[in-house]
Amino acid sequence: QVQLVESGGGLVQPGGSLRLSCAASGSILSINVMGWYRQAPGKERELVASITSGGSTKYADAVKGRFTISRDNAKKTVALQMNSLKPEDTAVYYCNANVVVVLPGAYRSLEVWGQGTLVTVSS
């Protein structure tokens, strides 16, 4: 069984910073793309940022220049540094990973989600 466990959410004032972390565990052979998504109340889940195993990154236009995604392949972790936070960044943030897992006699590709962590930006 593969799990993604997130940490680091909370309440922060506008202009402040937060750092989200996500750790993968289980019978993982490799992890391809890792990313962060968010879902605000009444809105669809959207991609915030993603990073490949080689370090190539992609950001939503709304967070470019403010958020930075990074990963440690050896530790199977991904982090999201969020600076200059705005009230519109308020959402539940989900970690996502495309992993290859080891099964008896086979490998399988899976998309895995974390349980989500709430980020609230408010004064």
**pLDDT (0 to 100) of residue 96:** 98
Check whether 104 has a pLDDT greater than 90.
no
Cα angle 67-121-49, degrees, rounded to a multiple of 5: 25
SS3 state of residue 90: coil
**pLDDT (0 to 100) of residue 16:** 98
Check whether 120 has a pLDDT greater than 90.
yes
Q: pLDDT digit string (tens) for 62-98?
A: 999 999 999 999 999 999 999 999 999 999 999 999 9
Which residues, including other chains, have CB under 8 Å from residue 34's CB and lie 6 or more apart?
22, 24, 50, 51, 71, 78, 95, 96, 97, 98
Q: pLDDT digit string (tens) for 11-62?
A: 999 999 999 999 999 999 999 999 999 999 999 999 999 999 999 999 999 9
**pLDDT (0 to 100) of residue 102:** 86
